[in-house]
Amino acid sequence: MNTDEVLGIFREAGAVLEGHFILTSGLRSPVFLQKARVFMHADKTERLCRALAQKIRAAVPGKIDYVVGPAIGGLIPAYETSRHLGVPAIWVEREGGEFRLRRFEIARGSRVVIVEDIVTTGLSIRETIECLRELGTEVVAAACIIDRSAGKTDVGVPLIALAEYEVPAYPADRLPPELAAIPAIKPGSRNI
């Protein structure tokens, strides 16, 4: 599946929003990919995640013990991708602001692949890697549906993106005037 097809699915679902958005990194952007509007459709989610699973299989040699999704955005794509990989899906979720594996036990040395929805700065994936490494697991790769950095983000492990789509993002004190003129909203779940 190529980038146009992935973006086509997002557009068809009404998931490409325009306005003034506060991203999880604190950056501001005129575009927000509201993945929930895609993931509400099982057929669209299946198409995307089957293709992502194929890309992961081609890129990751050896066994994968678990797929790990960072909640909330990673829950559905991690689950659906794991179904196509034939391995269990678990998740990390925030407790006191930090990602924790609250509901599962995982053996030290387990080989895991993180599956995210969207990557902008890679902050959420790096936080997930930190949590998983503290548990003694081996993070063999991370994957996402759309990489908004278009390959520029370094998360410290190979990042497998189904699509790369570069979208502008600005520090809050360096907004272009047309963005500063629009009230900002924060759609994601960090700090709520």
Task: Answer yes or no whether residue 9 interacts with ligand ORO by CB under 6 A.
Answer: no
Instruction: Pick out residues in 65-84 that bind ligand ORO (CB under 6 A).
Output: 73
| C-alpha to C-alpha distances, 60 to 74, 150, 160, nearest whole angstrom | 19, 20, 10
* Binds ligand PRP by CB under 6 A, chosen from 118, 140, 142, 160: 118
Where does this chain touch ligand ORO (CB under 6 A) — which range of 30-38, 49-57, 79-87, 175-183? 30-38
Q: Give helix 42-59 / helix 75-85 axis angle, nearest 10°.
A: 60
Indicate the SS3 state at residue 183.
coil
Which neighbouring-strand residues pair with 94? 99
Task: Answer yes or no whether residue 116 interacts with ligand PRP by CB under 6 A.
Answer: yes
By C-beta, is 73 or 77 nearer to Mg ion? 73
- Joined together, the tokens standing for residue 115 give 């599956």
Instruction: Pick out residues in 72-111 that bind Mg ion (CB under 5 A).
Output: 73
Task: Answer yes or no whether residue 161 interacts with ligand ORO by CB under 6 A.
Answer: no
* Binds ligand ORO by CB under 6 A, chosen from 9, 89, 118, 155: 118
By C-beta, is 18 or 46 nearer to ligand ORO? 18
d(CA 74, CA 68): 8
Residue 123 binds which of Mg ion, ligand PRP, ligand ORO, none (CB < 5-8 A, kind-dependent): ligand PRP
d(CA 91, CA 132): 10
* Binds ligand ORO by CB under 6 A, chosen from 6, 13, 33, 140: 33
By C-beta, is 119 or 161 nearer to ligand PRP? 119
By C-beta, is 35 or 163 nearer to ligand ORO? 35
Task: Answer yes or no whether residue 121 interacts with ligand PRP by CB under 6 A.
Answer: yes
Rounded to the nearest whole angstrom, what is the least distance from the CB of residue 79 to ligand ORO in the complex?
17
d(CA 94, CA 70): 9
d(CA 161, CA 51): 10
Contacts of 16 (CB under 8 A, 6+ apart): 7, 10, 31, 33, 34
